[in-house]
Amino acid sequence: MEKIIIKNENYSLFRNFVEEHHGYSEQDFKDHPEIKIKYNEFMDKLIELNNKRVEINFSAEMDFISLVGNKKGRIKYQDKKVKFYEGKKTKRFYYLDAGLYEGFFAILVPKEIQILN
């Protein structure tokens, strides 16, 4: 069986955009519609993975710490947010984002997602 892998190919684009604009706002989205289109495309891919078991290769920044790693768990789309539940946990979760919100509390930015059986 072939592994299904989804890559966040625009991560560096989002990262550079945030650094150039010292963050981002809805006005930035209006001024740069190509960024919004690419962001929404990746977020739609995450939403399509609702209730799927996955392994994610991620990056995260929290205060002065930068993390890179792998986690296995399940993706859920609830309350218009994409959430990642690690392992078999059902209460603790992380939010998933394409890269614009990296650095916010409890947000993981998946660089690569492998769908598990």
Query: 3: pLDDT confidence band, cut at 50, 70 and 90?
Result: confident
Element at 33 (helix H, strand E): helix 33-48
> What residues contact residue 13 under an 8 Å CB cut-off, 6+ apart?
35, 38, 99
- Give the per-residue pLDDT at 62: 75
Rounded CA separation 109/30 (Å): 23
Query: 4: pLDDT confidence band, cut at 50, 70 and 90?
Result: confident
Place of tokens 């609830």: 78
User: Is the Cβ–Cβ distance between 94 and 86 less than 8 Å?
Assistant: yes
**What are the tens digits of pLDDT across the range 18-59?**
888 887 778 887 888 999 999 999 999 999 999 999 999 999
Query: 2: pLDDT confidence band, cut at 50, 70 and 90?
Result: low
Query: 85: pLDDT confidence band, cut at 50, 70 and 90?
Result: very high
Query: 13: pLDDT confidence band, cut at 50, 70 and 90?
Result: very high
Q: How many domains does the chain have?
A: 1
Question: Domain of 87?
Answer: 4-115
If 0-12 CB within 10 Å is exposed, 13-18 middle and 19+ buried, where does residue 109 land?
A: buried
The dihedral of CA 52, 76, 111, 57: what is its sign? Answer: negative
